[in-house]
Every structure is written in C-alpha cells, then in structure tokens.
Amino acid sequence: MSSYLKKIREAMHEISKINNTIFLGQSVRYSGNSIYASLEDVPLKKRIELPVMEEAQMGMSVGLALQNFIPISCFPRFDFLILALNQLVNHADKIDHLTNDKFKSKIIIRTLVGSKHPLDAGPQHTQDYTGALKKMLINTKVIKINKNSSILKSYLSPFKESKNKIFLFVEDGNNYV
C-alpha cells in the first residue's frame, strides 16, 4: 500500500470517529474501486453503498446534511462527479442562500483523478476538472490533495472551519499505487 493511500485511510478513519459522519457512494461498502481501499478502517455501519446514480447521490448528500449529518460523498472518478454537477453547482454550492443562512452542517465530497498507471483507463476516467470547478463553485472549497504530509490536516480542516461548509477533495489516483 502506498504511503499516500495509508494517509488517506488514516484521515478517513479519523473522520469516521466524528459522531454524525456518514460515508456514501459506489464501492464504499463493497470492493470495486480505489475508494474502497481508503475506507477499510471505517466501520461498516457508517457506510452506505449506492448504485451508479451520481446526481441522486449528491442530492442525498445535501439531504443528509440538512438533517445534521456530515456526509462524505465518494465519487470514484472525477469524470463521474461531472454527472452530479446540477446538484453540486445549483444546490449544494448555494445551500446557504437556499436556507436563508440556516444551513449548519458540512458536506465533504471526495473524488479521484483516475490513474493512468499501470493501465490508462482512457479520457473518460482520467480527467482533472479542478480548475474548472474552482471557477464554477462560489461557496465550495476545492482542495487538491497532492502531498502525503498534508492529507490528514486537509481532511480534518472542514471540522475546524466555520466559514466554508462544502468541501471538494480531489485525490490523485496515480498516488494510490
């Protein structure tokens, strides 16, 4: 296991200790992609496995947050997150406005830029949209996870920050191997 993946795994374990956190997405409960390996230390009772339904997943994340959960919404590829942009851009990112500034929870979104090694999965699984989303999102903090040394601190930052409520973490799939 790479040191990058070990650090991601440690961060997810720490987040899982927070009472109202819940992890949802594809392969969060059952093996199937890299996200699963990062959640092995997260209790199964904190994981909700979902089928391929990205827009509904983001909508569920907003709904869970409105009920005072802190959803950690896992999208195994950045390219798949694109399918949830309606809910992210028009709803989650505007949640303070939509709730007259009464939204108090957090939403943490995790995604990976797909690995090109040892196999290149092609352009529909390996694109990085970080720059575009930083331009599109007004109230969502977009954080690219590059350095092993900053992983734990970065993932714990939403729990120490009161200003931002929506966080999008972009992981590098090449560092998982």
- The predicted structure's pLDDT at residue 91: 96
Residue of 110, 108, 142, 114 whose CA lies nearest to 128: 114
Distance between CA atoms of residues 135 and 87, nearest Å: 16
Q: Are strands 47-49 and 166-172 parallel, antiparallel or unpaired?
A: unpaired
Residuewise pLDDT in 10s, the chain (177 residues)? 799 999 999 999 999 999 999 999 999 999 988 899 999 999 999 999 999 999 999 999 999 999 999 999 999 999 999 999 999 999 999 999 999 999 889 999 999 998 888 888 888 888 999 999 999 999 999 999 999 999 999 999 999 988 889 999 999 999 988
Q: What pLDDT score does 122 carry?
A: 84
Structural domains of the chain ordered from first start: 3-176 (3.40.50.970)
- For residue 36, what pLDDT is reported? 96
Question: CB within 8 A of 39, min separation 6: which ones?
Answer: 9, 12, 23, 28, 47, 74
One-letter amino acid of 130: T
Predicted pLDDT of residue 116: 83
Show the tokens assigned to 17.
Answer: 């200790």
> Which pTM value belongs to this model?
0.96
